[in-house]
Amino acid sequence: MTKREKNLQTQNQFRDAVNSGNLEDLHNVISTDVKDHDPAEIQGKGAQGFIDFFSMMRSAFPDLHVHFEEVIADDTYVNFAYTVSGTHKGEFMGLKPTNKSFEVRGVQITKFNDDAKVIERWGSTDELGLLKQLGVQPI
């Protein structure tokens, strides 16, 4: 398997862990010294930071689902556009459940080490679009 294929496999494992809720699997794909350039406000360091963030998201949106739209990869990076969706069934950022669904787009750049583990991440998701779809008015 080429380095590119290993990186793609790791990125798919990351997505599958998020989609399935098997978040402890993220320890297998994220380097201990990972640097997230765009962490969520509640996100701590390392793989545990990602686990904590996605635990909160899956608690708020139990059917949370990430779908890759377009993927470009080489021996170092996997870059992708994605759609994320879910239904608001639990508290989210202090907002009581609305039972409304959302679907927003985002992009991410992921850098991998020689062991095909995530070492850096940059990304952006349409957070305003998510809040609008839940019926939250921006301030």
Q: Can you give the pLDDT at residue 139? A: 62
Q: For the chain, what is the mean pLDDT?
A: 95
Which of 55-59, 65-69, 113-117, 133-137 comes out lowest in average pLDDT?
133-137
Q: What is the C-alpha radius of gyration for the chain, rounded to an integer number of angstroms?
A: 15
Closest CA to 38 of 110, 104, 113: 110
Domain ranges of the chain: 3-79+108-123
**Residue 25 to residue 28: CA distance in whole angstroms:** 5
Contact 106, 84 (CB under 8 A): yes
User: CA angle at residue 111 from 105 to 115, to 5 degrees?
Assistant: 130
**Three-state SS for 45?**
coil
Whether the predicted pLDDT of 31 surpasses 90:
yes
pTM over 0.85: yes
- Give pLDDT tens digits for 80-123: 999 999 999 999 988 999 999 999 999 999 999 999 999 999 99
* pLDDT mean over 14-25: 98
Q: Which fold does the domain 3-79+108-123 belong to in CATH?
A: Nuclear Transport Factor 2; Chain: A, (3.10.450)
